[in-house]
Amino acid sequence: MLQTFIQQIINGLALGSIYALIALGYTMVYGVLRLINFAHGDVYMIGAFVGYYAAQKFGIASASGQISFGGALILMMTAMMASASLGVVIERFAYRPVRKYPRLTSLITAIGVSLLLENGGQVLFGADPKFFPILNSAVTYTFGSVTVRLTDIIIVVVSVSLMVLLQTIVLKTKLGKAMRAVSYNLDAAKLMGINTDFIIAFTFALGSALAAAAGILVSLSFPKIDPLIGVLTGLKAFVAAVLGGIGNITGAVLGGFLIGIAETMAAGYLPQSLNSYKDAVAFAILILVLLFKPAGLMGSVAPEKV
Amino acid sequence: MPPLVKKLLWSLGTVGILLVVNQVMVNGIGGYGIPAQDYYVRVLTLVGISIIAAVSLNLINGYTGQFSIGHAGFMAVGGYTAAYISFYYGAGILNTLQGLPLPVALTIRLFISLLIGVVFSALAGFVVGMPSLRLKGDYLAIVTLGFGEIIRIIILSIDSVGGARGFSSIVQGATEPPDQRMFEFLKESIFFWVFLFAVITVVIVKNLVNSTFGRALTSIRENEIAAEAMGINTTRYKVIAFVISAGLAGLAGGLFAHYDNYLNTNSFTFVKSVEVIIMIVLGGMGSITGAILGATVLTILPELLRDLQQYRMVIYSLLLIVIMIVRPQGILGRRELSLSGLFGKKKTV
């Protein structure tokens, strides 16, 4: 009994760090623009596909579809750069033109971008799933009846390092300071001489790069990828961001881990017949959070000014 | 002319015209070489269903300014409930009504199924709307999206409505041999029913938004805090609008179930909700004629683009982005098309 519990916690940590990485992108964009970037989950999907095609193009994967750890790192860098550029392009050509309109307009635009990436992906990559190369050092460690995959350890270590890196950028650099200023008050930041357009683009680049990293990490663990993988994962990561308190970076990480663990617990403990409800867990959490603590665990409520 | 008589004449005229059009479309006109227009009947029936869905969504998204993206969920509730009644109780209803002429009995059976579908989807709207309408803007959008998906997952796991296989032979029912009477009846008349209900929906929504109730909704859209300060119970109004909108969505779902005779949860995904949103966004949020225009264009467009089937959603999504950038208020904005406006007559207030 305890072993099942520990096993689910370990699985949950790996899944949760993925959600956390994606949630960071949602939360940062929401912080600077007050926009739910619906397309974020699809940027994550594009990241995975860039990795897939890069592996073929660079000949990193062996014939049997395996890659070394270093190879995976190269794929991740490539995917992060590609997605960062995509994020900037989306911001420049879809979101910036509608920034002056009411927020609902941006929201609809975001849904449009999301659908464009999903359906464009289906046309471009084909709707049938592709298989991502797997790590050749995919060892499994066993402690009693608890098994830990090396891939899971890599996922957690890499994502936590990325989170630390992000935290350093946001808290210790001038760019980070500017990001915080824009998030606090966009107009005031502009008056202080901050190039807000650049900061917003930078935020998109940062968030999209993290999403791409998550895309590669997930694909190493679950190699089946298709153009719609971003939909559900993106939504759950968004729920994670809301749970932690949207706009709050630490909150996004906390929320990500909580959602990940809740989901694996549901998968582990729900009876087989209810297993299709595992995907509904995140939504149920979302609804409960919004009803009882709309600001999230670490967020603060800003009273609406008239 | 007393207004009541005028209204009665209008209603009779509308029903009459619809009956004649239905007759011509389905059977053609024998002596004049006008054949039956099966293809157009199909496309136009779908247009009618889309109009009901779009106009009802417009009530909550366009007039009340609450952004719901779970409309397909309510269509699914209405559709599946109506289908369930038709499938399991249809024969029973017909048996009870044995004394009546068959078309009347079949009409009553259709109405009962649709009505129960509407009641259930309105109830679902109440259950969803009650907690979530306290939220604003983006949050409401994401919660309605979540509820829409949950509704779909629940339906998917109910075996008596087919689960993942889909729900087939809805109007024939479970009896052996299959009862074809309803099927034959609907084949002749579904076009009429869909458009009759489309007209009814438009009239309901039009009267609602032009009433005190509608002005309250508009004030909530314009400024919720100000509306509250003027003594409007905003949550109450939002929930009522949401329930009506969900109920009418259920009507669209029920009609679709009876028209297609087959339901599958894949028809009620997030993409379907977005399609309805694109209809009202294109036509103009907060305009009934805009919603009708959007629904018509976006239902006929895929038929014209049949060769580009693969690119349909790509075109849709690009369209959505471009409209938002170029003309965020949609084609008509909040204006209404009207015949008198078209011919330059001045509107008398």
ipTM of the complex: 0.85
Check residue B306 and report its DSSP letter: G
Helices A229-244, A280-292: crossing angle, 10 deg rounding:
30
Which pLDDT belongs to residue B31?
64
Q: Which two tokens stand for residue B312?
A: 């349909």
Tokens of B65: 């300014």
The Cα–Cα gap between A27 and A23 comes to 6
Class of residue B140 by CB neighbours under 10 A (exposed 0-12, middle 13-18, buried 19+):
buried
Residue A301 lies in a domain: no
Task: Report the percent of chain B where pLDDT is more than 70.
Answer: 95
Contact A97 B310 (CB under 8 A): no
Give B-chain residues touching A119 at CB under 8 angstroms. Answer: 313-314, 316-317
Instruction: Test A123 with B314 for CB contact under 8 angstroms.
Output: yes
Higher-confidence position of A117 and B323 = A117
Burial A206-231 (b: 16+ CB within 10 A, else e): bbbbbbbbbbbbbbbbebebbbbbbb
pLDDT confidence of residue A151: 87
What gap in Å lies between CA B58 and CA B68, rounded to an integer?
10
Output the CA angle B143-B270-B173, nearest 5 degrees: 110
| Cβ-Cβ contacts under 8 Å, A109 against chain B | 320-321, 324-325
Residue A303 lies in a domain: no
More confident residue, B157 or A90: A90
Q: Is residue A172 part of a domain?
A: yes
Residues of B in contact with A242 (CB under 8 A): 139, 142
Question: Residue holding tokens 């790069």?
Answer: A209
Query: For B79-130, how does the pLDDT look when each residue is reduced to its tens digit (9 = 90+)?
Result: 999 999 999 998 888 888 888 888 899 999 999 999 999 999 999 999 888 8
Please report the DSSP string for B161-174 in residue order. GTGGG-EE-TTT-S
Interface probe with B: pick from A99, A272, A290, most Cβ of B within 10 Å: A290
Does B314 contact A94 at a Cβ distance shorter than 8 Å?
A: no
B149 — contact with chain A (CB < 8 Å)? yes
Q: Is B282 on the interface with A (CB under 8 A)?
A: no
Q: Which residue has the higher pLDDT, B201 or B170?
A: B201
* Chain B residues 68-97 with a CB less than 8 Å from chain A: 69
The helix/strand count (H/E) of chain B reads as 13, 2
pLDDT bracket for residue B137 (50, 70, 90): low
In a domain, A28, yes or no: yes
- pLDDT for A138 equals 67
Distance CA(A246)–CA(B138), nearest Å, equals 12
Which one of B141, B270, B310 has the shortest CB-CB distance to A107?
B141
Q: What is the mean pLDDT of residues B174-200?
A: 87
Number of domains comprising chain A: 1
Whether the CB of B329 is below 8 Å from some CB of chain A: the reply is: no
Instruction: Sort out which chain A residues have CB atoms less than 8 A from B276's CB and list them.
Output: none
Chain B hits for A279, Cβ within 8 Å = 149, 153
- Please identify every stretch of chain A with a pLDDT value under 50, giving residue numbers as ranges: none
Per-chain mean pLDDT for chain B: 87
Residue A115 has its nearest CB partner, among B139, B274, B325, at: B274
Q: Is B277 on the interface with A (CB under 8 A)?
A: yes
pLDDT score of B35: 74
Q: Give A148's strand partners.
A: A141
Segments forming the whole domain that contains residue A201: 2-292
**Which H helix or E strand runs over B112?**
helix B102-132
Q: Write the CA distances from A218 to A52, A114, A128, integer angstroms.
A: 12, 20, 18
Q: Quick: pLDDT tens for B46-78.
A: 999 999 999 999 999 989 988 888 899 999 999
Would the pTM of this model clear 0.95, i.e. be above it? Answer: no
- Least CA distance to A282: which residue of chain B? B146
pLDDT in tens, A195-243: 999 999 999 999 999 999 999 999 988 889 999 899 889 989 998 998 9
pLDDT band at B314 (very low <50, low <70, confident <90, very high): confident
- Cβ separation A111–B69 shorter than 8 A: yes
- Specify if A306 maps to a domain: no
pLDDT surpassing 60 at residue B349: no
Give the pLDDT confidence score for residue B343 in this predicted structure: 58
- B115 in reach of chain A (CB within 8 A): no
Query: Could you tell me which of B265, B255, B212, B218 has the C-alpha nearest to residue B238?
Result: B218
Q: What is the pLDDT of residue A257?
A: 95
**Nearest chain B alpha carbon to A110:** B321
CA distance A40 to chain B (A): 14
Residue A266 pLDDT: 86
Write the CB contacts of B343 (distance below 8 Å, at least 6 apart in sequence). Answer: none
CATH of the domain at A176: 1.10.3470
Q: Is residue A48 part of a domain?
A: yes
Nearest CA-CA distance, residue A108 and chain B, Å: 7
Instruction: Give the whole-angstrom CA distance, residue A194 versus residue A18.
Output: 32
- Residue to mutate among B61, B147, B274, B317, with most A CBs inside 10 A, is B317
pLDDT above 60: residue B348: no
- Helix H or strand E encompassing B167: strand B167-168
